[in-house]
Amino acid sequence: MNQSSSDWPLWEVFVRSRQGLSHKHVGSLHAADAGMAISNARDVYTRRQEGVSIWVLPADAISASSPADKDILFDPANDKVYRHASFYDLPDEVKNM
Amino acid sequence: MTKDEHFEWLLWLADDALILAQRLSEWCGHAPVLEEDIALSNIALDLIGQSRAFYAHAGQLEGLGRDEDQLAFFRTDRDFRNLLLVEQPNGDFGDTIARQFFFDQFALLRFTHLAQQSFDTEVAAIATKALKEVRYHAAHSAEWMIRLGDGTEESHQRIQESVNRLWEYTGECFEPNSFQTAAEKANVLPHAESAHKEWLATITSILSQATLSVPNGTWMQKGGRQGGHSEHLSYILAEMQVLPRTYPDAQW
């Protein structure tokens, strides 16, 4: 694709697939503004009935954790099994836990 | 309305959609940006869906055993009834958008009317479903007209040229002819003259938002509804029909 696509800012796209579920990150795309981003997201990510709602946000508005901080951020949770909510019997009615 | 007249305007609906879809699909893999590539292909697929429904219905009405494929692939250019507008070459992106803009606003008026009429309930059902697609198409092309018109100096100039170039093909959408009159009498198609006015008002409003001027030319091309097409249609059909004509019983 040519120059113009790199002139447009990058947007991250979140799609809610059904009522009651949360929006999920599905990918990214280029667009000149938020309106075009939603319209492009509709065409690129929901054309096979994937969604009921779309969020887009400028990729540069996202602050991400650094891979270098992986150890200090995530390792401490690994060895504390007692903090995991995995010892409860879930009723069948709870579908999305 | 006679059966012939009924069949005729069903072909208008189907042929407009199919030929424009075939044109738009030429962009697949070639559009300026990936996102727009997919958007144009989506629109093409919507239009193919509409044309299939209208062909199937027309074939049943005709009662000669022709199905949608036979109507799409085994008629020659003289039999096609589409507007000259939809067979015009893609040109640059601006030409494609201007063509789409003129057509979408026309289709919006037509489908809104078709969805409400009770002469042909099958068509009303198809139109009700298609109207959602057409509304999206119309929003998409209008949005682009405004972006390009009110964009850079170059985009403004080029989209204005596209508008001027295609203007002479817009009159045919509202051409009074015997089939149109029959369809108006049955209240199945919108009245050509008042639809033309309504169309012009919308076009004028969007073009003014886009800082573009409405061409003042009044001479209009015609002939598509009578099967008199530009040379472009034969090339479109040659490409579109070659496979089913070479292998008539080919199965997907």
**pLDDT tens-digit series, residues B216-225:** 999 999 999 9
**A70-74, B18-22, B143-147, B208-212 — which is least confidently predicted?**
A70-74
CA atoms within 13 A on the CB side of A55: 10
Residue B25 lies in a domain: yes
| Total beta-carbon pairs less than 8 A apart between chain A and chain B | 39
Residue B156 lies in a domain: yes
pLDDT at B1: 87
**Contact predicate B40/B24, CB 8 Å:** yes
Residue B148 lies in a domain: yes
pLDDT at A1: 43
Residue A10 lies in a domain: yes
Could you tell me the strand order of the sheet in which A53-58 lies?
A: A24-30, A10-16, A53-58
Torsion sign across C-alpha atoms A59, A60, A66, A72: negative
Chain-chain contact of A39 with B143 (C-beta, under 8 angstroms): yes
Residue A74 lies in a domain: no
Q: What is the CATH number of the domain that holds B74?
A: 1.20.1260.10
Residue B179 lies in a domain: yes
ipTM topping 0.85: no
**Contact predicate B50/B103, CB 8 Å:** no
Residue A24 lies in a domain: yes
- Give the whole-number percent of chain B exceeding pLDDT 70: 100
Other residues' Cβ atoms within 10 Å of the Cβ of residue B52: 19
Of B35, B140, B147, nearest to A30 by CB-CB distance is B35
For residues B63-89, give the mean pLDDT. Answer: 97
Residue A78 lies in a domain: no
For residues B15-23, give the mean pLDDT. Answer: 98
pLDDT at A97: 62
Residue A81 lies in a domain: no
Of B33, B143, B147, nearest to A30 by CB-CB distance is B33
pLDDT (tens, 9 = 90+) of chain A, 97 residues, equals 444 545 899 999 999 988 888 999 999 999 999 999 999 999 999 887 778 899 999 999 999 888 888 888 887 777 777 777 777 778 888 776 6
Residue span of the structural domain in which A50 resides: 3-62
How far lies B171's CA from each of A28, B106, B212, in Å?
41, 11, 19
For residues B10-27, give the mean pLDDT. Answer: 98
Q: What is the CATH number of the domain that holds A31?
A: 3.10.20.520
Which tokens is B236 given?
A: 């479109």
Question: In total, how many domains does chain A have?
Answer: 1
pLDDT at A76: 76
Strand A53-58 vs strand A24-30: parallel, antiparallel, or unpaired?
Answer: unpaired
**Contact predicate B202/B196, CB 8 Å:** no
Minimum distance, in Å, between the CA of residue A62 and any CA atom of chain B: 22
How long, in residues, is chain A? Answer: 97
In eight-state DSSP terms, residue A22 is: P
Higher pLDDT, residue B226 or A89: B226
For residues B49-61, give the mean pLDDT. Answer: 97
Residue A34 lies in a domain: yes
Residue B252 lies in a domain: no
Q: Which residue of A has its CA nearest to B36?
A: A40
Which of A36, A38, A49, A50 to mutate to test binding with chain B, by most B CBs within 10 Å of its CB?
A: A36
Whole-prediction pTM = 0.88
Contacts of A44 in chain B (CB under 8 A): 34-35, 38
Residue A58 lies in a domain: yes
Residue B251 lies in a domain: no
- B60 pLDDT above the threshold of 50: yes
pLDDT at A6: 56
Higher pLDDT, residue A73 or B69: B69
Residue span of the structural domain in which B73 resides: 3-214+222-246
pLDDT at B6: 95
Question: In total, how many domains does chain B have?
Answer: 1
Q: For chain A, say whether B154 makes contact (Cβ under 8 Å).
A: no
For residues B81-107, give the mean pLDDT. Answer: 98
Residue B8 lies in a domain: yes
